[in-house]
Copies of this chain bind each other. A is one copy, B any other.
């Protein structure tokens, strides 16, 4: 009974028509005030399911936040379902009807008779005013649980949570201090290889909790530190982060929302170096990611996308003989692309990609997913290979990350 449950109501969610983003938003808000969320539950506009779900939630969660089902239409069932779950009647609140009339008047419209249902609230519950729309919220206790029902429209829900619900939770002392989440992002090894370096931290029951997730070949370790204050939580997370960094070394490229391109951008700016790209298999994705970073024009000179061999020859001066001898998908061509690109763009560094993204075109010697990344710098050049599994889009995305990571590691070494 020490966790919260978030319930989202609406058939447009269970049919998959709309994506529920309210539960995520509320989870983050609760995390910030140290209330752990155990469950998100989404249900259709069905009275029996609503009542049953509220009963389950109020038996297992100390706080239940509900969004949706407070509108004026026939499929808005939250008021009635909450009353049934609590075993009470719905009570008419004349002052709510006035508020709803006012909202219509402010918009220069007349309230429809239908909106009258929005002035009902379960007996013993307290209505929460809604300054942004017609649906008042509901604050009540069912059994040992606090229940707060808010509109499903995100902007109205955000405002009601911030203005009314969050202050009440803090006032009731429900806040369990602060939860700090620190994400350590890694690239260059698989999820299990990374976990093998920190098994003591990720084991169940470790305090603070450390989780591991993989997203498109980026592996993230997440530290969840709970404490009474932000400073204390930070102090709990810091030594764990230090241990992770010591064990993982250069596999760690950034924290929280930092992407590889952000780190490459920072390093290039710091070291006053410029970069150019020569892409075949990634077809512009490396350039695009670099270009997403504000100020890219200062350190990213530009790039070439060479999809066909004659473009490699004409625009990147990769000799036809080299392509004929080794094939366009080879470390030799990757390296030659990088060297030529560096000259063309007069940049300090150039990175290149070549490979097979599929879905067809693979051979036993060069399967789909085989890629090479070349790098050229003042005084040298090389190329590294890798074989990815995945769809065309995944192979391109992971190879682009591999290219950005190659640049990062070079800048760290020099």
Contacts and interface: CB of A to CB of B under 8 A. Distances in A.
How many chain copies does the complex carry? 2
A384 interface: no
Main secondary structure of the interface of A (DSSP, over half): mixed
Given A284-B284, A284-B287, A192 B72 contact: yes
Nearest to A189: B109
A243 interface: no
A308 interface: yes
A26 B25 CA distance: 22
A283 B294 contact: no
A37 B21 contact: no
Contacts of A42: 23, 39-41
Interface string A335-358: 000000000110000000000011
Nearest to A290: B283
Interface in A172-217: 179, 181, 183, 190-193, 195-196, 202-204, 209, 211-214
A381 interface: no
Given A25-B16, A107-B387, A301 B297 contact: no
A260 to B, nearest CB: 15
A155 B390 CA distance: 8
Contacts of A44: 36-38
Interface string A203-246: 11000010111100000001010000000000000000000000
Contacts of A360: 294
A247 interface: no
A43 B49 contact: no
B43 A27 contact: no
B302 A307 contact: yes
A79 to B, nearest CB: 14
A206 to B, nearest CB: 9
A136 interface: no
A165 to B, nearest CB: 16
A412 interface: no
Nearest to A202: B74
A123 interface: no
A168 B224 CA distance: 40
B287 A389 contact: no
A320 interface: no
Contact of A12 (B19, B53, B132, B211): B211
B40 A359 contact: no
Interface in A40-71: 40-46, 49, 52-53, 56, 60, 71
A53 B308 CA distance: 53
Interface stretch (A88-96, A391-399, A402-410): A391-399
Interface string A75-102: 1000000000000000000000000000
A149 interface: no
A212 B109 contact: no
Contact of A302 (B12, B21, B306): B306
Contacts of A37: 14-16, 44
B38 A41 contact: no
A305 interface: yes
Contacts of A49: 38-39
A128 interface: no
Nearest to A115: B192
Given A112-B193, A284-B303, A291-B307, 13 more contacts: A14-B27, A14-B38, A15-B179, A16-B24, A17-B181, A17-B222, A20-B40, A36-B44, A114-B196, A288-B396, A292-B392, A311-B345, A315-B315
